[in-house]
Amino acid sequence: PVHASGGEVQMISGVPHEFTVRGAGLRTVDTLVAVGDRTGVMCTSPNFFQMQLELLRGVGDGAFAVFTKGIATGENQYVKTGFKSVTSDGLLATTGDLTLLATGHYCLCWQGTNNGQRAYGLVDKLVVTGVDLSLTYRSVYSPSAGSASQKLFSTFIHTYRLSKDFADDALTVRTATKTPCEGTVVAQSRKIEKEYRSTTQMATEKLLYKAKYMSVKNLPESSTTYSEMLHVCLKSPNGEVLQFLGESSISEYYSYPFHDFVLPETLHVRTPSSVYSYTVSEFSNLGLHWGTVERDGEVVIGNFLDFFTANPFSKVLHFWLSHSGNVITAWAFSASDPSPTLMATFKSDFPVGMALHTTANFVHLYLLKGQTPATLFVMDVTVPSTGLSPEALIHALDPGQAGLVEPSNIVLIYEGEEDESDPVVVLVDSGTGYIHLFDHDLQEVGKSNGQEALAQPLVKPTDLHCLRKTEGSGTVSSVWDCFATDVGLPRVIYFSIDASTKEFRFLSTYSGEGTKDGVNTNLRGPISVVAHYFSGKTLIYVAEAASAYPLLLTKVDEEETLHYYAYLSQNSVGSSSTVGRLSLLHFSDDNSSLEHVSLATFRDAWRGAEVQIVSLDTTATVPNFRYHPHEWYTVGDTHSLEPSVIGLGTLKGVRKFALSSEIANAAYVHSIASVDPNTGVVKLELTHIQRASVEIQVIAQGMVSQMTTTFKFNVACKDGYYYSQGMCVRCAAGTYNSVNLIKADPASSWAKCRKCGENHTTVAEGSISEDQCQCQLGFHIPDESEDGAKCEPCPA
């Protein structure tokens, strides 16, 4: 019934387009649908979304990816319109405006009836060019231990068939206005760079740009919170047009959906099955070997020379392993650019875990593979372009000898300095429940499942994280503290390994502490763990299967017991998805602040995979907070005050609230105020009065810091009273007082009542207004209609 025009119709993202359709029997009730499809096949389906979901049947492990694509089709690439006008003979019709936000290829499909039957047809093939307007944005503004701080963040820009680059300052984040992009600039890019991908991907003309070095400043602030939505705007390459890209939410964590930066999309369809983090210092051994390797468009994608030589340091090279995609990708992160930058892509069959051992002479890759039979390799990757070829193999573990069933991860520990001693490989096997130790030649030197030390041996350990035990003398210890997740019971196991003697010591387990303050602290399915030592305390982060929030456990130096601290709240890590893998990013060799270490949380959401990054400073320290009391209270009042965070922090991780005793008149303050140690709610019960102005100080104690806030208010006697000698006294006859009078002139009314006029008095004590003053006995007002008339003696 409709006639396809042939060829491609060119459209620009965000620009309305009107179509003329030719056919037979066209009607105004017909529907036109634009759907992401280059072939036109989707036009023959009566329900595009249902057709996409039908593909799930029998897909198996790939079902989630297909479902995600189906959702994307329905959300970003499924646009309906209709006919605005149709000629009387039904041969020619004009559509309403059709606007597409996502760039790429579409088909414009017609849905109607023909001879009483539902009919479908292809109208046009569309290609949408320009800047992709379907992305979501996030501007980071995060409180730190000291105060609200401006965090540097980056934003990705997608273009299709747009040949010119952007000016470095072309992207701005602005306050929201009724007409987009007219608001005040609160953040602006200082550099916009083209992101490189494989040679094949670059040839598709779908390009990726990154706007870098932005920080939010001068946010308009209400009494308690910051505005929650901003506008993202971009100047066109010629600088003539300011284009509205979309809205940006404000948060204290970085969030990067994979579809924002993973190109091609098939590179990582889901979150990585394992992650390895390598900290790059200014004089790193890895940079010594990899820093001069040039981009080849296949293995080496990024600029290694710039990454390994340019400030600031330290940086992180983050390796993402996908056992279903048979690929390992390397991503660069830094404090100035905490967004992922693709550096290299290695092909590998079913990678499960990895670690790098680097010296001034070589770079060795310890690679764990999980196919049957599972095995462990040592490969020479001093020159990464040689990749993971068979020629790079140095050692291979005999699967039969080791008896590995389902190995899930490895870490390297050292007896001495890492570049001066050989590594010991710690391998956790979910299939057998054993933790194995191998030397650098992959000869087994020990193993244990904790049977002799634990009430129940390891059942199904899934992940492992080790950090060197600190020594007060400053010497390098050969003992390492390790934490393993055991999903079989479920629990977290704390144990130590001596890299010199190869001895295990199982120290404690954590399975939960029941319900605390309404929160169920019991573990349900721990799958990933990372740990960081700071100021005499170890912070242990645990991800659980099907949980929206990671869990933070703590251990102090003097104890071996692990304690529940908090679930990381929605404000710090987000709740739109379930946590997969965790990893730590160390952006400094200086261990004096948690702000230089970030937690990377990989998540699978219905929109697709994403990685969220938040500094440990945000998760474990107490942000600035305050209370909002009334200016005045009166004796007899009761009032509850809830704490509110300055910025977008959270107080869920505060261990205890308390009133300070280090203030003036502390005894009086404690007699009229109390604070709930768990919620921080201050309750005022003003049963008596001692002074006009009261200052209260509340301390919030966290795991690694504490924060103090002070608030003031005034106290007055109630209407008809005044303060005298530590109590409220009723106003005598002939005087009056009120709270409003005290507020207006505290100096004159707080500690005394006002007198009525000459020859005036009141009927009783406790009067509250001049209106209650009347002539004394024996006096009267001759003419009450006269303004300002005074009481005069009654006539004889």
- What is the per-residue pLDDT across 179-198, written as a single tens digit (0 to 9) for each? 999 999 999 999 999 999 98
The residue type found at 762 is T
Domain encompassing residue 739: 721-793
Domain annotation covers residue 782: yes
pLDDT of residue 58: 45
Whether residue 146 has pLDDT greater than 60: no
**How confident is residue 163, by pLDDT bands cut at 50, 70 and 90?**
confident
Mean pLDDT of the chain: 86
**Is 374 within 8 Å of 188 (Cβ atoms)?**
no
E-assigned strands of 469-518? Answer: 479-486, 491-498, 503-510, 515-516
Mean pLDDT for 137-147 is 63
712 in the same domain as 645: yes
| Same domain as 712, residue 655 | yes
Considering the entire predicted model, what is its pTM? 0.81
Residue 602, in any domain of the structure: no
pLDDT band (50, 70, 90) for residue 461 = very high
**Residue 85 has what pLDDT?**
92
The answer to the question of residue 497 being in a domain is: no
Q: Are residues 154 and 112 in the same domain?
A: no
Distances in Å between the Cα of 28 and the Cα atoms of 36, 80, 83, 702 are 24, 14, 5, 65
Range of lowest pLDDT (121-135, 248-262, 639-653):
639-653
* pLDDT of 60 over the 80 cut: no
- The predicted structure's pLDDT at residue 746: 92
What tokens does 387 get? 């990749």
How many Å is the maximal CA-CA distance in the chain?
130
Residue found by looking up tokens 């280090």 in the block: 662
The residue among 182 and 60 whose pLDDT is bigger is 182
Q: Under a CB-based contact definition with an 8 Å cutoff, are residues 506 and 493 in contact?
A: yes
Of 383, 399, 415, the residue that ends a domain is 399
Distance CA 346, CA 330 (A): 8
Q: How many CB atoms lie within 10 A of CB 707?
A: 23
For residue 249, what are the contacts with CB-CB under 8 A and spacing of at least 6? 137, 138, 139, 228, 229, 230
DSSP run (H or E) holding 64: helix 63-76
CB atoms closer than 10 angstroms to residue 451? 12
Of 783 and 530, the structure prediction assigns the larger pLDDT to 530
In a domain, 60, yes or no: yes
Predicted confidence at residue 569, as pLDDT, reads: 67
DSSP state of 623: P
**Position of tokens 């597409």?**
100
Is 330 inside any structural domain? yes
CATH of the domain at 697: 2.60.40.10
Average pLDDT over residues 610-626: 83
Span 592-604, average pLDDT: 86
Tokens 């934490």, located at residue: 483
324 in any annotated domain: yes
Confidence (pLDDT) at 325: 87
Q: How far apart are CA 159 and CA 168, in angstroms?
A: 16
Are 635 and 718 in contact, with CB atoms under 8 Å apart? yes
DSSP lists the bridge partners of residue 233 as 172, 244
Q: What is the DSSP letter of 525?
A: -
How many domains are contained in the chain?
Answer: 5
Give percent of the chain with pLDDT exceeding 70.
90
Q: What confidence score (pLDDT) does residue 722 get?
A: 95
Same domain, 153 and 237: yes
pLDDT in tens, 756-771: 989 999 999 999 999 9
- How much is the pLDDT for 222? 45
pLDDT value of residue 71? 53
Do 706 and 728 share a domain, yes or no? no
- The lowest-confidence range among 101-110, 198-207, 541-550, 569-578 is 569-578
Higher pLDDT, 217 or 577: 217
Q: Do 702 and 729 fall into the same domain?
A: no
CA dihedral 538, 450, 461, 455 (to 10 degrees): -90
* pLDDT average, residue stretch 555-574: 78
Q: Rg of the chain over CA atoms, in angstroms? A: 35
- Tokens linked to 560: 């071996």
85 and 171 both lie in a single domain: no
Residues in the chain: 796
- What local confidence, expressed as pLDDT, does residue 701 receive? 84
Residues 172 and 218 in one domain: yes
84 with 163, same domain: the answer is no
Q: Give the strand pairing for 153-160 and 644-645.
A: unpaired
Query: Rounded to whole angstroms, how far apart are CA atoms 738 and 772?
Result: 12
Q: pLDDT of 281-326, one tens digit each?
A: 988 999 999 998 988 888 899 999 999 998 888 899 999 999 888 9
- The whole-number average pLDDT for the span 162-183 is 93
Nearest CA-CA partner of 451 in 506, 525, 526: 506
Average pLDDT on 249-254 reads 82
What element of type H or E holds 671? helix 666-672
**293 and 386 share a domain?**
yes
Q: Answer yes or no: is pLDDT of 51 > 90.
A: no
Amino acid making up residue 129: T
| Predicted confidence (pLDDT) at residue 455 exceeds the cutoff of 80 | yes
Phi, psi of 66 (to 5 degrees): -65, -40
The residues, ordered by sequence, that sit 6+ positions from 753 with a Cβ below 8 Å of its Cβ are 722, 731, 732, 735, 736, 737
Of 109, 131, 153, the domain-final residue: 131
Name the more confident of 69 and 284. Answer: 284
The average pLDDT across 708-713 equals: 93
Higher pLDDT, 475 or 748: 748
pLDDT tens, position by position, 217-251:
877 654 334 456 899 999 999 888 899 999 998 88
Residues 738 and 673 grouped into a single domain = no
Burial tier of 795 (Cβ tally within 10 Å: 0-12, 13-18, 19+): exposed
Q: Is residue 214 predicted with pLDDT exceeding 60?
A: yes
Does 208 lie in the same domain as 307? Answer: no
Bridge-based pairing of strands 760-761 and 754-755 is unpaired
In 770-787, which positions are buried (b, 16+ CB within 10 angstroms) versus exposed (e)?
eebbebeeebeeeeeeee
Would 496 be classed as within a structural domain? Answer: no
End-to-end, the C-alpha distance of the chain in Å comes to 113
Domain's final residue, options 689, 716, 743: 716
What's the confidence (pLDDT) of residue 509? 97
pLDDT confidence of residue 723: 95
For 335-356, the pLDDT digits (tens) are 889 999 999 999 998 999 999 9
Q: Taking 60 as the threshold, does the pLDDT of residue 357 lie above it? A: yes
Strand partners, 256: 611
User: Distances in Å between the alpha carbon of 353 and those of 262, 412, 518?
Assistant: 21, 11, 37
In a domain, 360, yes or no: yes
Mean local confidence (pLDDT), 176-180:
92
In whole angstroms, give the CA distance from residue 338 to residue 399: 39
